[in-house]
Amino acid sequence: MISDVNIKVKRDLCYACGICVDRCIMDNLRLSLAPCRQACPIDMNCQGYVRLIAQDREKEAAEELRRYTPFGAILGRVCSHPCEAVCERRDTDGPVHIRALKRYLADSYPEISRHILPLAPDTGLGVAIVGSGPSGLTAAYELRQKGHRVRVLESAPEPGGLLRYGIPSFRLPEDTVKRTVATLEEMGVSFQTGKDVGQDLELDRLESEADAVILATGAGPSKKLNLPGMNLSGALQGLDLLRRVREGNAPSLGKSAIVIGGGNSAVDAALTCRRLGVAEVRMVCLEDPSQMPAFALELEEAREEGVVIDNCWGPTRLVPKENGQMEIEFSRCLSLFDDQGCFRPILEQACGLRFSTDSIVLAVGQEVKADAVPEYLLDPSTKRLAADSMTRQSLIREKIFACGDCHSGAGSVVEAMASGREAAISADRFLRGEGLHWGRGNGDGCIKEYEVDRSRAKGGKRGKLSRLAVEERTLHLEVERTLSSYEARVEAERCLSCGRAAEANRTCWYCLPCEIECPVKALEVRMPYLVR
């Protein structure tokens, strides 16, 4: 499919922006997507901003990033970076640090990162969004951009959802979230905090006041385990611990803590315990090391900070001890999944591991709790809003849409943002009386085929991210540092620039808007009958 017969693309210059593909009236061009971009839930042109950094065109790189999202500083810190998992360089000398480069741009060019793009003319229509986590913030941004009035209702004292009250500030500083919310406020989004929909205000009333409603209420509180002794006072829920720390109301945990769970929230809870001064912290989980859902970098940080990890154990009971401590018992986990691949751990009968501890923190996931939604709008099997899987529109009330973890179950920040964007597209179309399914799920101007030419990139291993020394780490100081401009340049030069514009259909009429509008003059139309 990738062809250069009539259209010649200079690979060194092209940064796969796709403008030429948009401009071609003959449907001749396709954008061949780099694997990093194919993997990005918000379709970010990662290759584009990486390539521009490598060419020392950093301002344009920051603008390319901003074209896709105003949340670069957040994603640059906590994105689960599915792009890096598929980066073409992963099997040679390590994937390009796409996430860290995003952070570099957002931190180095804050005025571009927070730039307000022109808003569409006011439609006079209003949307209410319930919940201000990444999905709600993204839906608010997209709908305001499209000219609607947007009101966000949030039950917590401050906006941000898990960005504000879940992820610890040593990974995502409070200021980063505040500045992003401030940008949305400057655009005209209004935030009403301390407003619990379902308690302070009924969804029915909200629905009658607004032209459309988006539910972005998250996955719910920490999942509980029905174990004997789980009601003891030293047994805490992981999300409660993290929220209390971010509210400045940390509980006292004693000298030892056992964290149950193997995901990011368990690691965050374990690292938080260490920073609260707990001398002995253990994480115990069902999974073996290769199955643990936590990011590798987070696990490395936990080990560096002295957290001991015990794999393949499941808790069975807690027993109070006379000295105020608790004893917790674990049995060997024999298998995690059943024959159908469903999560159904089987534990050995006998107790195989026993610890005495001052505190226990349960971080085994989140429980669905759709407080805002009346029972008749819920899917009885999932207990989530019954909604169309593509448009996210309620199957019962056409004005209501759902997005983020409350729609899909616990996921990641970037997935929640992608979901918020889809819900916003649907709500906007609904408000304009357009079809919600139209043009979605079909092909676009892109192909998944790409070309790798290793000769253009510089050699060298994936760089090491600079982090605070273990003894300098505190509850609030950010551990990872922003790349220096030299580090950013060296890292970006490793990119192979896998994607590019390409001729697909041989329908060229030599009309030239593609060539004229290419911002970097990377494209040349070869006219057989004309010497230029």
**Which residues are at the interface with ligand SF4 (CB under 6 A)?**
9, 14-20, 34-36, 46-47, 50, 87-89, 96, 98, 495-498, 501, 518, 520, 522-523
For residue 212, which of 139, 315, 287, 133 has the smallest C-alpha distance?
A: 139
Q: Which is nearer to ligand SF4, 96 or 269 (CB)?
A: 96
Give CA–CA dist 41/173, Å, rounded.
24
Q: How far is CA 517 from CA 265, 307, 443, in A?
A: 46, 55, 24
Which of ligand SF4, ligand FAD, none does residue 520 bind to, with CB < 5 to 8 Å depending on kind? ligand SF4
Q: How far is CA 487 from CA 107, 464, 494, in A?
A: 14, 9, 11
Looking at residues 64 to 123 of the shown chain, list those that interact with ligand FAD (rule: CB under 6 A): 78-80
**Binding residues for ligand FAD, total number by CB under 6 A:** 40
By CB under 6 A, residue 192 contacts ligand FAD: no
What is the smallest separation between the CB atom of 96 and ligand SF4, expressed in angstroms? 4
What is the smallest separation between the CB atom of 217 and ligand FAD, expressed in angstroms? 4
Q: Which of 14, 44, 50, 167 binds ligand FAD (CB under 6 A)?
A: 167
Q: Can you read off the two tokens belonging to residue 377?
A: 């709008």
What is the smallest separation between the CB atom of 241 and ligand SF4, expressed in angstroms? 36
Q: Which is nearer to ligand FAD, 24 or 219 (CB)?
A: 219
DSSP 132-175: -SHHHHHHHHHHHHTT-EEEEEESSSSS-THHHHTS-TTTS-HH
Spatial contact of 59 and 109, defined as CB atoms under 8 Å apart: yes
Looking at residues 377 to 416 of the shown chain, list those that interact with ligand FAD (rule: CB under 6 A): 404-406, 410-414, 416
Give CA–CA dist 388/482, Å, rounded.
40
Helices and strands (H, E) in the chain, number of each type: 19, 19
Looking at residues 260 to 289 of the shown chain, list those that interact with ligand FAD (rule: CB under 6 A): 264-265, 268
Which of ligand FAD, ligand SF4, none does residue 365 bind to, with CB < 5 to 8 Å depending on kind? none
What is the smallest separation between the CB atom of 439 and ligand SF4, expressed in angstroms? 21
Q: By CB neighbour count within 10 A (0-12 exposed, 13-18 middle, 19+ buried), where does 171 fall? A: middle
At 46, give phi and psi (nearest 5°): -60, -45
By CB under 6 A, residue 180 contacts ligand FAD: no
At position 7, the amino acid (one-letter code) is: I
What is the smallest separation between the CB atom of 208 and ligand FAD, expressed in angstroms? 17
Which of ligand FAD, ligand SF4, none does residue 136 bind to, with CB < 5 to 8 Å depending on kind? ligand FAD
What is the smallest separation between the CB atom of 19 and ligand SF4, expressed in angstroms? 4
What is the smallest separation between the CB atom of 66 and ligand SF4, expressed in angstroms? 16
Provide the phi-psi class of 306: left if phi over 0, else alpha when psi is between -120 and 50, else beta: left
Which of ligand FAD, ligand SF4, none does residue 7 bind to, with CB < 5 to 8 Å depending on kind? none
What is the smallest separation between the CB atom of 131 and ligand FAD, expressed in angstroms? 3
Looking at residues 217 to 256 of the shown chain, list those that interact with ligand FAD (rule: CB under 6 A): 217-218, 239, 242
Q: Is 472 helix (H, G, I), strand (E, B) or coil?
A: helix
Spatial contact of 398 and 430, defined as CB atoms under 8 Å apart: yes
Q: By CB neighbour count within 10 A (0-12 exposed, 13-18 middle, 19+ buried), where does 249 fall? A: exposed
Place of tokens 């329908």: 507
Which of ligand FAD, ligand SF4, none does residue 134 bind to, with CB < 5 to 8 Å depending on kind? ligand FAD
At position 37, the amino acid (one-letter code) is: R
Q: Which is nearer to ligand FAD, 245 or 502 (CB)?
A: 245
Q: Which is nearer to ligand FAD, 218 or 262 (CB)?
A: 218
Here's the x/- map for ligand FAD, 27-66, by CB under 6 A: it reads as ----------------------------------------
Which of ligand SF4, ligand FAD, none does residue 424 bind to, with CB < 5 to 8 Å depending on kind? none
Neighbours of 4 (CB within 10 A): 12
What is the smallest separation between the CB atom of 137 and ligand FAD, expressed in angstroms? 7
Q: Which of 216, 278, 431, 492 binds ligand FAD (CB under 6 A)?
A: 216
Q: How far is CA 25 from CA 10, 324, 394, 443, 463, in A?
A: 21, 75, 37, 17, 43
Give CA–CA dist 266/65, Å, rounded.
31
Q: Which is nearer to ligand SF4, 36 or 260 (CB)?
A: 36
Which of ligand FAD, ligand SF4, none does residue 213 bind to, with CB < 5 to 8 Å depending on kind? none
By CB under 6 A, residue 136 contacts ligand FAD: yes
Q: Which is nearer to ligand FAD, 156 or 504 (CB)?
A: 156
Q: Can you read off the two tokens belonging to residue 182?
A: 């401030």
Q: Which of 161, 261, 314, 315 binds ligand FAD (CB under 6 A)?
A: 161
By CB under 6 A, residue 371 contacts ligand FAD: yes
Spatial contact of 457 and 494, defined as CB atoms under 8 Å apart: yes
Give CA–CA dist 139/265, Å, rounded.
25
The percent of the chain in helix, strand and coil, each rounded to the nearest 5, is 30, 20, 50
What is the smallest separation between the CB atom of 9 and ligand SF4, expressed in angstroms? 5
Which of ligand SF4, ligand FAD, none does residue 19 bind to, with CB < 5 to 8 Å depending on kind? ligand SF4
Q: Can you read off the two tokens belonging to residue 150?
A: 């947007």
Q: Residue 102: enclosing H or E segment and its boundaries?
A: helix 98-108
- Judged by the rule CB under 6 A, the positions of this chain that interact with ligand FAD are 78-80, 130-136, 153-156, 161-162, 166-167, 196-198, 216-218, 239, 242, 264-265, 268, 371-372, 404-406, 410-414, 416
